Structure 1
Amino acid sequence: MTAALVTGIGGQDGTYLAERLVAEGLEVHALVLEADGHPDHCPDEVVLHTGDLADVEATRRLVADIAPREVYNLAAISSVAQSWDEPDRTSLVNGHAAVALMESARRVGDVRLVQASSAEIFGEAHESPQDEETPLAPVNPYGAAKAYAHLAARVFRQRDLHASSLVLYNHESPRRPTRFVTRKITRGVAAIARGEADELVLGNLDARRDWGWAPDYVDAMVRAARADQPADYVVATGTAHSVRDFVAAAFAAAGIADWEPLVRQDAAFFRPADPAELVGDATRAREELGWAPTVGFEEIVRRMVAADL
């Protein structure tokens, strides 16, 4: 039976990916932090290994023991806000540990590795939309660490590792943790709709992002792992919306038309540096992987609000 290793199983992408791989009949192994226990939505068939990606030697032994055919590195300090609070650990987990995992996979041989990168590597991009040739210009510790791992995937391809780096733009689902602004919005709107809260407090409403559906982005990961040749791929819808648009769609999904008096901005929630607009051009993924998004913006928000209600 073909084995796969997933790091970052506790996130929304990890559980959707695990469900997909288990359904396909793969023997799925996952690295999980001891504090996380058994992640919600994680299939019982997944073999969980307690550890920390930043423990390079222990992770290297695990990869050697499993000898997986596919490796999906989703583990990361995934919050930009958290990366400002913990820049040193962010560089360790998102950068150094990711590169060490690539070396571990290379040593095993015949491994196909997918590195989950991020649109944050482009930072204040001077062109829009961004594609695989857009210069990297991160503006926060999260983006800087992800940029290092992204560039390393290119380097490891020169050492015959089938390593693809997927530049994932914002993608959402009801499984998105509540520390992310999108889930904060849908959960807050649901609370207001139920009469349990009076207002929603947010930061910058003008930031614009390219939001997609998380299972669609997991599909891109699997397609990249199984492509004939490894490459970098931007995975995005190609359409940007503001945080304000997201808020409006969430209140609409809850049946609340006059929402603006219910929202208050607080400077405490503004980031030290925040790209104004990130929107991706996924032409390469469409042409080479046959990938395309399947769920539109309003429907994504509607599904999240419905789950929180």
Structure 2
Amino acid sequence: MNTNDTEQPAGRTALITGVTGQDGSYLAELLLSKGYTVHGLIRRSSSFNTERLDHIYQGPQEPGRTLVLHHADLSDGVALVNLLRDLRPDEVYNLGAQSHVRVSFDAPLYTGDVTGMGSLRLLEAIRASGIDTRIYQASSSEMFGSAPPPQNERTPFHPRSPYGCAKVFGYWATVNYREAYGLYAVNGILFNHESPRRGETFVTRKITRAVARIKAGLQDRLYLGNLDAVRDWGYAPEYVEAMWRMLQRDEPDDYVVATGQAGSVREFVETAFSAAGLDWSEHVRFDPKYERPSEVDALIGDASKAESLLGWKARVMWPELARIMVDADRAQLESELSGAAVRIDR
């Protein structure tokens, strides 16, 4: 199959774990635009956690382009088998995880179970159900850890967090099921990718949200950990396109997805504050509680294989990404404040 072919695969179905997250919501939008029926897994909760999907799920849905949500969990292998047998999806995207690196040090067993064993449960559910499908495993640049950059598909893994270790387990489980059982299974080794939908506890969103609040006079200080860490930040809506392209190839393989352009946390901070006309040095302070027990100094990806075989290349680099996120957070805050003012007037 030609990965550059934009023909719509009408009538196809996909299952996304982690559909309520940043990547899951963008991927759902992409697949719906291509004519898929999209099924998403959400964990049972006493509160709503579908904010990123509400604009799709609550609005009118076009015939043949439907989003259906199912209550299930990566900790329940039997439920996964039953759901896969019922849905028989053409494609499965495993984006579900405890994905916060710093939190993984505080909750290592939970992270290992959901992020690591969860991927194995899903692979085994596909094998046990006997369905014919293709699965994408969300692997991570954190698997490389202290391996020197630039990192590509041949770089040895040296994870430096429970999250990174769990992702290495999921990576090799995916390779094993591909080789042992002939599953069409791929690993997307995605480097950091951000957007206005990024969770507020992740450093990029923490920064851009603070910029909006400081500019509005609602906050004065931003406390961060290691400012010298170097990352390769890309734009999440572009990265989900790479996920889809991986499953359109004739043969399954593993791919690094990255921009190749590095920036330090300090540089991201400076760019984000500058986008709002602020001097970052007047507001940012160091707090050691945000440091990790073992740090990853530099992650810079080499995505030449994805460019060559998938026809995919990043377009948005991190300086533009920082400005996109600041503008979005400022607009969101302005909307919230306007809404609050209207409620007070009433």
With the shorter chain as reference, the TM-score category is: over 0.9
Moved over 6 A (4+): none
Match 2:134 to one of 112, 133, 146: 112
In 1, distance between residues paired with 2:321 and 2:44?
A: 31
The secondary structure found in structure 2 opposite 1:167 is strand
- Show the counterpart of 1:86: 107
Instruction: Report the residue type matching 1:37 in the other structure.
Output: F
**Equivalent residue pairs, number:** 307
Query: Mapping of 1:153-172 within 5 angstroms?
Result: 153-158=174-179, 159-172=181-194
| Structure 2 contact 85–131 (Cα < 8 Å) conserved | no
The secondary structure found in structure 2 opposite 1:19 is helix
- Show the counterpart of 1:64: 85
- Show the counterpart of 1:293: 314
Instruction: Report the residue type matching 1:11 in the other structure.
Output: G
In 2, distance between residues paired with 1:116 and 1:68?
A: 18
Instruction: Report the residue type matching 2:240 in the other structure.
Output: V
- Show the counterpart of 1:241: 263
In 1, distance between residues paired with 2:133 and 2:71?
A: 22
Q: With structure 2 as the length reference, what TM-score do the two structures score?
A: 0.87
Instruction: Report the residue type matching 2:13 in the other structure.
Output: A
The secondary structure found in structure 2 opposite 1:34 is coil
In 1, distance between residues paired with 2:102 and 2:112?
A: 14
| Structure 2 contact 261–317 (Cα < 8 Å) conserved | no
In 2, distance between residues paired with 1:206 and 1:137?
A: 20
In 2, distance between residues paired with 1:41 and 1:104?
A: 27
The secondary structure found in structure 1 opposite 2:40 is strand
- Per-residue deviation at 1:92? 0.8
- Per-residue deviation at 1:201? 0.8
- Per-residue deviation at 1:103? 2.1
The secondary structure found in structure 1 opposite 2:41 is strand
Query: Mapping of 1:35-184 within 5 angstroms?
Result: 35=45, 37=48, 39-42=50-53, 43-44=56-57, 45-106=66-127, 107-125=129-147, 127-158=148-179, 159-184=181-206
The secondary structure found in structure 2 opposite 1:54 is coil
Instruction: Report the residue type matching 1:89 in the other structure.
Output: Y
Question: For the pair shown, which has the larger CA radius of gyration, 1 or 2?
Answer: 2
The secondary structure found in structure 2 opposite 1:177 is coil
- Per-residue deviation at 1:139? 1.0
- Per-residue deviation at 1:118? 0.4
After superposition, what is the alpha-carbon deviation per residue over 1:108-143, rounded to whole angstroms, capped at 9, x for unaligned? 332111000100111111x31011111111111000
- Show the counterpart of 2:24: 14
- Per-residue deviation at 1:285? 0.6
- Per-residue deviation at 1:38? 5.3
Instruction: Report the residue type matching 1:154 in the other structure.
Output: V
In 1, distance between residues paired with 2:130 and 2:14?
A: 13
| Structure 2 contact 22–198 (Cα < 8 Å) conserved | yes
Unpaired segments ≥5 residues, structure 1: none
Aligned identity (percent) is 49
After superposition, what is the alpha-carbon deviation per residue over 1:61-109, rounded to whole angstroms, capped at 9, x for unaligned? 1111111000000000010111111111111111111012112223433
CA RMSD of aligned residues (A): 1.1
Instruction: Report the residue type matching 2:142 in the other structure.
Output: E
| Structure 1 contact 163–231 (Cα < 8 Å) conserved | yes
Query: Mapping of 1:251-290 within 5 angstroms?
Result: 251-256=273-278, 258-290=279-311
| Structure 1 contact 63–108 (Cα < 8 Å) conserved | no
